Amino acid sequence: MLNIKPIARRFYWRVASFFGKREIVHIEKTENRSTNIFVYSDSRVSASFEKPVIEDLVRSLEDDDIFFDIGANFGRYSCLVGTAVPTAQVFAFEPNPEAASVLRGNLRWNCIDAHVIKTALSNREGETSLDLQEGAERASIQDESGPTSDSITVRMITLDNLLEREGLPHPSVIKVDVEGAELKVIKGMRATLPIKDLRLLYCEVHPHLMKKMGDKESELFAYLDEAGFEVEVIDKRDVQYEDGGSEVQKFIRASRGGE
């Protein structure tokens, strides 16, 4: 029997969006848990999750943007951008097969025509272990320590090489959330960062997880500065990990002068 409940929900939200003059993004995380994000015409959001980042991103989007969601997970940002700017091209990078499956479902649910690329980005090519010990939302590559009982092996490539081999368009806006591998991902953009079309880069910085991978957040800030970006912290929060570690996560906005 046809399940009309999702269809009815979608129809209701689209009608509400039209009459309320707001975009509605619905994220279906699991079968029994969901999150609604309401984005209003003045760029305010009603969801508390990373509000400053979402508001800044929505204000900054342009009709012809090419958005790369690196570490897309379940698709919150891919769905947000695809809904707020339907003419934008969205590319969602997610190496975890379980998360990528949910991501595709969320894109269909929100009627977003996006490209899902199931690979990990880094500063080199090959294979790496993706640690799933703390769940799909905190999956992280373990480039040095190797596989464990809670990990899977995934393909890894630099963004520079992927763009060249697959003929993908160069991004204008990038979001990076890769649980500690952010410096490695950005170092894999050595040829991409100088391209003037790339005007904005948002990145969630995880100092504790970066340290476990041999990196420092100060190196990340310095690398973006040397690439010609102005970096500012637009959101932060305290986080505790199951290994006993803690950190102040920072969400940064890197822009070229004048943006």
Determine phi and psi for 236, rounding to 5 degrees: -155, 160
What are 66-111's pLDDT values in tens digits? 999 999 988 889 988 998 899 999 999 998 888 888 888 888 888 8
The CATH H-level superfamily of 47-255 is: Vaccinia Virus protein VP39 (3.40.50.150)
- Predicted confidence at residue 158, as pLDDT, reads 96
pLDDT by residue (tens digit) across 44-70? Answer: 666 666 888 988 998 999 999 999 999
Residue 140 has pLDDT above 70, yes or no: no
Quickly list H helices, the chain.
5-20, 51-60, 76-84, 97-109, 159-166, 182-187, 207-212, 217-226
pLDDT value at position 98?
A: 84
Half-sphere exposure at residue 217, Cβ-oriented, CA atoms within 13 angstroms: 17
121, 177 Cβ separation under 8 angstroms? no
